[in-house]
Amino acid sequence: MSNLNDLRDVCAVILAAGEGNGMRSQRAKVLHSILGRPMVQYSVDLCLRLGVKRVLVVVGSQAEQVKEVLAGRPVEFVHQREPRGTAHAVLQTELVLSGAEGTVLVLPGDMPLLTDETVRRLVEVQAATRTAATLLTAELKNPTGYGRIIRDHQGRLRRIVEEVEATEKEKVINEINAGVYCFRGSVLFEALKYVKVSRVKGEFFLPEVMQIFIEQGQPIYTLQAPDPSEALGVNTRIEMAEAAAVLRQRVQKRLMEAGVTLLDPQATYIDDTVTIGPETVIYPGVTLQGATTVGAGCVIYPHCRIQDSHLADGITILDGSVILGSDVAEGCVIGPYAHLRPQSRLKAKAKVGNFCEVKKAVIGPGSKVPHLAYIGDASLGERVNIGAGTITCNYDGFAKHETVIEDEVFVGSNTNLVAPVKVGKGAIIAAGSTITEAVPPEAVAFGRAPQVNKEGRAATTRKMLEERAQSREWRAESKQSEIAGGKKWRYASSE
């Protein structure tokens, strides 16, 4: 038996039409994200990795939103117009899969912990036995909320009972139905038409198909999940957090096996979408999100957050820094407490230091923005040095404007660069300047107001300030007296 051929003969149906009222949310359950991915993507991507023939996603009331998060994936959508249960949802695919003779794999869209290996094994068992169906089960310590597997004295599947319909004796059973099935396509849809509505829920449950097959004398195979956590579905935010904890451990294990050092995995939060190169060291409290890539030999110190950014090799991110939607080249140093906003680009060996903010700017090779600066809508060349307190004044209340600083420019502390403005190569800007016009290459620019010194005026000024302070105190006391006594006082100094 060839696994590849078996998978090519499989059509997958993913159930993503449920509203998920247990989430207490206006969003459909499968749209909630776990470790950077909407839940429905886990089931879809699993099927695509296995190389199945077709992937059909059954969508419901929030169909457009589900389609949006699956955009770009080679899937087909089938609409379930009314929420009438899982059997009814699968039946909606009958026209699309008309005449299907191979295997129909049915997965819920809310089981992010399923592994490729387990689903592949389920398909293999179905292909080898060619029974009407094969289903996945699991032994749970707490089976609450799941349908129970009822077996006869020989261990054969007798029926599946949903918890809402189970007796107290049946609820004690720990083997549960995971809701993952392989069906022989030629018998599935005919059986679905005989499913009866649940007396308790008023819906058509897919497990009832198994009872129909059993009554017809068709054997049903079961496969128990090697790891019970794979069978956990997500119906509440509590279960979502539990699933995230399991996924987080898997991600961390994968990274550490690939050569990444996580100094405290329990205090590290890395999305499933993140990639990290070997010899990189991650300190506690770090959060890596979205489409982030981190190169080899990097060090990320505590309490940094990096989202949708690309970091090359040999980068150091010091404590408390935030990097969003940015591109950082090799050998850069960032932080502590730096903020790279979207569309920031740091080229090789650039530095952005303490309490600096960079937005939609290019920091050239070897250039430094060491501390207490804001660089936005700007382009810095090579080996530029930006003094403390420097800002680019890039917004005039109506439009953004660009600041261009060419190679080897020295910008003194507390400088305001009022865009649009250009500073030529090798220029020097004196500290405390406000630059509103272009600075030629190799020029020295001063943009300060003239300093005025008044000889011998310090004592007189201090006396004047003291008198003003006393006058303010007297007026305040008078006002309080007026309020307390109910009288209206008039004095010339208040008019």
- Residues assigned a catalytic role: 371
For β-strands 148-151 and 157-161, DSSP reports them as antiparallel
Q: Tokens 């439009």 identify what position?
A: 399
**Phi, then psi, of 394 in degrees rounded to 5:** -100, 0
Four-point Cα dihedral 422, 426, 427, 429, nearest 10: 100
DSSP conformational letter for 377: S
Residue 357: helix, strand or coil by DSSP? strand
**Phi, then psi, of 452 in degrees rounded to 5:** -120, 125
* Tokens matching residue 156: 């054969």
Q: Are 405 and 392 in contact (CB under 8 A)?
A: no
DSSP conformational letter for 37: E
* Neighbour-count burial for 303-339, b at 16+ CB within 10 Å, e otherwise: bbbbbbbbbbebbbbbebbbbbbbbbbbbbbbbbbbb
Q: Tokens 């699968």 identify what position?
A: 90
Please state, in angstroms and rounded to a whole number, the distance separating the CA atoms of residues 469 and 454: 22
Please state, in angstroms and rounded to a whole number, the distance separating the CA atoms of residues 203 and 195: 10
End-to-end CA separation in angstroms for the chain: 101
Please state, in angstroms and rounded to a whole number, the distance separating the CA atoms of residues 314 and 332: 7
| 483, containing H or E segment | helix 458-485
- Residues, the chain, total? 495
Please state, in angstroms and rounded to a whole number, the distance separating the CA atoms of residues 380 and 19: 50
| 120, containing H or E segment | helix 116-129
Cβ neighbours of residue 239 under 8 Å, at least 6 residues apart? 232, 233
Please state, in angstroms and rounded to a whole number, the distance separating the CA atoms of residues 260 and 279: 5
Residue 151's CB is within 10 A of a number of other CB atoms, namely 14
Query: Among 401, 447, 448, 441, which residue's Cα sits nearest to residue 423?
Result: 441
* Tokens matching residue 160: 């599946």
Output Rg (C-alpha) for the chain, integer angstroms.
33
208-215 helix and 185-192 helix, angle to the nearest 10 degrees: 110
